């Protein structure tokens, strides 16, 4: 099938590569020339394990363009995968979605349009009405993505489920044809339900993370070990073992934005989602948990040599959006700390945001002569450090936001080590 995808960000480019892998011809459209030039030269625009190989293996079925006519003229189905960033009030900014619809309308009088972008409930219905005002007949389909950065390729190739919201038999049929090669549960529903499934899934996982972090904070107060507590509840099939890792807060492009968007939407409709609001509040407080602990040692960070290990919001991605590291680096630099940072892929982007930080090529270079170390991301390059690697610090004081190391092993070696929820 001939498919066009608007947007070559995380969702768009991974979807394009996967559709091509399953035999579809895909045209990728973007407005950023640098992205299209990179893709046409064989370079990947994002850091995502397995994606460069997938793009290379399917280059005959992939076209990259800045031209709307090239993208739309032969397309049987058009996917919208543009950003929907949050506004200051937490609502979703749909400018790029409507820009896409307007551009399609210049070249198509009728079309199947599939919404991959995460949009508020009811958006697809509104776009149908809007398209009528443009004099075109668009059949909108909601097909939310469930990709986790760092495992996005596998999530798209072998998804846990595919959710499809349609209002016509023709739309349902074409989506059945597109996804015929995928062997997984396919949930067909109406558009509003499909939109709601996306928000509900992400917000539920965010709730789970925030709940675990609150339990972790209590464990520290009462002398319990949160890792054992989570192991103890994980064997209950009703709870499961995923998303039970305590830490210094969630980040990325989905959970922060989607929790705020659903909270805003509930308020707009005179509802109150107290649990979602609580998850948002807990997460914002959790991001500063390490520097708050360090206040017990340093009333001020002025003049301190600070090592920061891990910058991206999670391993195996270069995404810094809403990363806990950023708010802490801002605090440290504002107070006059000398900050050195290390991340396998996120250092240069961080340098752009904080010009005064020193970028290091290895964890050990970062630790040298440091008064204190903060760990914000559990990259394998960080988790494989040995206790002896911390000997080069001026003061072996470590605040670990991802519990990368065994507490007793670090303590016995003489490291003043503080994790999350490791009360005993």
Please tell me the distance from the alpha carbon of residue 391 to that of residue 397, in angstroms, as a whole number. Answer: 10
CA distance linking residue 264 with residue 389, whole number of Å: 46
Catalytic residue among 28, 219, 254, 373: 254
Active site residue 254: yes
Which residues belong to the active site? 254
């Amino acid at each position: 099938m001939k498919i066009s995808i608007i947007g070559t960000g995380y969702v768009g480019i991974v979807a394009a590569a996967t559709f091509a892998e399953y035999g579809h011809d895909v045209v990728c459209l973007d407005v950023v020339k640098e992205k299209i030039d990179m893709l046409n030269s064989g370079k990947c625009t994002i850091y995502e394990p397995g994606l460069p190989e997938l793009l290379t293996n399917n280059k005959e079925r992939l076209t990259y363009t800045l031209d709307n006519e090239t993208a739309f003229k032969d397309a049987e189905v058009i996917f919208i995968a543009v950003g929907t960033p949050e506004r200051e009030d937490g609502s979703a900014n749909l400018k790029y979605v409507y820009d896409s619809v307007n551009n399609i309308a210049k070249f198509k009088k009728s079309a199947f349009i599939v919404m991959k972008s995460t949009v508020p409930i009811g958006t697809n219905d509104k776009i149908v009405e809007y398209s009528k005002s443009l004099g075109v007949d668009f059949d909108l389909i909601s097909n939310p993505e469930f990709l986790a950065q760092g495992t996005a390729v596998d999530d798209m190739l072998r998804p846990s489920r595919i959710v499809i919201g349609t209002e016509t038999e023709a739309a349902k049929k074409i989506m059945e044809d597109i996804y015929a090669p995928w062997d997984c549960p396919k949930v067909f529903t109406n558009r509003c339900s499909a939109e709601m499934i996306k928000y509900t899934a992400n917000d539920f996982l965010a709730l789970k993370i925030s709940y675990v972090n609150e339990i972790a904070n209590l464990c520290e107060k009462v002398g319990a070990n949160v890792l054992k507590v989570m192991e103890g509840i994980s064997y209950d099939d009703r709870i499961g073992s995923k998303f039970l890792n305590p830490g210094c807060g969630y980040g990325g492009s989905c959970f922060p934005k989607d929790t705020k968007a659903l909270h805003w939407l509930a308020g707009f409709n005179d509802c109150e989602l107290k649990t979602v609001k609580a998850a948002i509040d807990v997460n914002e407080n959790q991001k500063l948990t390490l520097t708050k602990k360090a206040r017990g040692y340093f009333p001020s960070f002025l003049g301190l040599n600070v090592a920061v290990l891990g910058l991206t919001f999670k391993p195996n991605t270069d995404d810094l959006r809403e990363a806990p590291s950023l708010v802490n680096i801002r605090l440290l630099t504002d107070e006059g700390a000398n900050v050195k940072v290390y991340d396998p892929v996120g250092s240069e982007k961080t340098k752009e945001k904080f010009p005064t930080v020193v970028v290091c090529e290895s964890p050990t270079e970062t630790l040298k002569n440091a008064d204190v170390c903060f760990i914000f991301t559990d990259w394998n390059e960080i988790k494989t450090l040995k206790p002896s690697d911390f000997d080069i610090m001026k003061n072996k004081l470590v605040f670990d936001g991802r519990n990368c190391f065994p507490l007793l092993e670090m303590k016995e070696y003489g490291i003043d080590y503080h994790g999350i929820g490791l009360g005993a």
